[in-house]
């Protein structure tokens, strides 16, 4: 097959294959529901939603509400087979359906809490997300706290140094570093992720700083300082 024809065929194949997998998941979900396996049906539903979310291309930012919903699906699947369940609480006074954030920026931070905080071994694991707008500024703050295993304060400081170092390559906390670098590359250097100084016995905290953009605003008309 000539190169140009093969490339065209490959593009069409890649468009069909993901939809086939998603449709298969939906068929399995309905079969589980018909057979009375509601918990399995719910897991397949969340997996399907997660898969569709991942396939959603050409979009850099999503609403905070969408990002949280995606993270909830991830949490549900992560805890499959575990003896406990995670309590995720959202504390905010703003309409999170009207504010946007970088896609795939919240889930890696939550995953970091699950893996490094050993939340799946905690009797009553909790993740608390506080979202607020700083008065008099154009900045959005998203704090993510968990009640898992904390870090000594010297390790918290070291992690902040790693995050601020553009050339740092680490085997641990790769997700945090990736999110921080992506935020800085997209929005500019004033923004990113910082580790909050917390008591190691009280879990672990991360703050994400973002500029304020509203969902109703045309993305093409937004002027972003990427300096």
* Domain total in the chain: 2
Do residue 121 and residue 17 come from a single domain?
no
Comparing 37-46, 97-106, 197-206, 215-224, the range with the smallest average pLDDT is 215-224
Query: Is 65 inside any structural domain?
Result: no
Rank 112-116, 179-183, 196-200 by mean pLDDT and report only the highest: 179-183
Output 8 or 106, whichever has higher pLDDT: 106
Task: Tell me the backbone φ, ψ of residue 215, rounded to 5 degrees.
Answer: -60, -35
Alpha-carbon dihedral sign for residues 208, 213, 218, 223: negative
Query: Is 49 inside any structural domain?
Result: yes
Residue 68 has pLDDT above 80, yes or no: yes
Q: Tens digits of per-residue pLDDT, 123-171?
A: 788 889 898 887 567 899 999 998 888 888 888 888 888 888 766 555 5
Comparing 45-54, 126-135, 170-179, the range with the smallest average pLDDT is 170-179
Do residue 90 and residue 46 come from a single domain?
no
Query: Is 227 inside any structural domain?
Result: no
Judge if pTM exceeds 0.85.
no
- Which neighbouring-strand residues pair with 195? 206
Query: Is 66 inside any structural domain?
Result: no
Kindly state the DSSP code that residue 136 receives in the 8-state scheme.
T
Structural domain including 103 reads 73-221
Q: Tens digits of per-residue pLDDT, 33-44?
A: 888 988 888 888
Kindly state the DSSP code that residue 96 receives in the 8-state scheme.
T
Residue 222 has pLDDT above 60, yes or no: no
CA atoms within 13 A on the CB side of 73: 18
- CATH number, domain of 169, equals 3.30.565.10
How far is CA 3 from each of CA 6, 12, 14, 16, 73, rounded to the nearest angstrom? 5, 14, 16, 20, 40
């Amino acid at each position: 097959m000539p190169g140009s024809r093969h490339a065209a065929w490959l593009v069409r194949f890649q468009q069909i294959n993901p939809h086939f997998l998603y449709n298969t998941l939906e068929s399995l979900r309905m079969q589980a529901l018909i057979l009375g396996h509601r918990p399995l049906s719910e897991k397949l539903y969340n997996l399907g939603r997660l898969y569709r979310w991942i396939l959603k291309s050409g979009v850099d930012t999503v609403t905070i509400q969408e990002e949280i919903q995606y993270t909830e699906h991830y949490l549900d699947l992560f805890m499959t087979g575990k003896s406990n369940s995670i309590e995720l609480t959202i504390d905010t006074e703003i309409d999170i359906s009207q504010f946007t954030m970088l896609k795939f920026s919240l889930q890696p931070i939550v995953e970091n809490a699950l893996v490094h905080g050993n939340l799946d071994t905690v009797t009553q694991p909790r993740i608390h997300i506080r979202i607020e707008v700083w008065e008099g500024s154009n900045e959005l703050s998203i704090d993510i706290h968990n009640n898992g295993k904390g870090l000594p304060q010297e390790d918290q400081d070291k992690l902040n140094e790693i995050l601020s170092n553009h050339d740092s390559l680490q085997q641990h906390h790769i997700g945090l570093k990736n999110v921080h670098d992506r935020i800085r590359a997209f929005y500019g250097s004033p923004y990113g992720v910082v580790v909050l100084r917390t008591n190691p016995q009280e879990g672990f905290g991360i703050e994400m700083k973002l500029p304020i953009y509203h969902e109703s605003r045309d993305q093409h008309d937004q002027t972003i300082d990427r300096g």
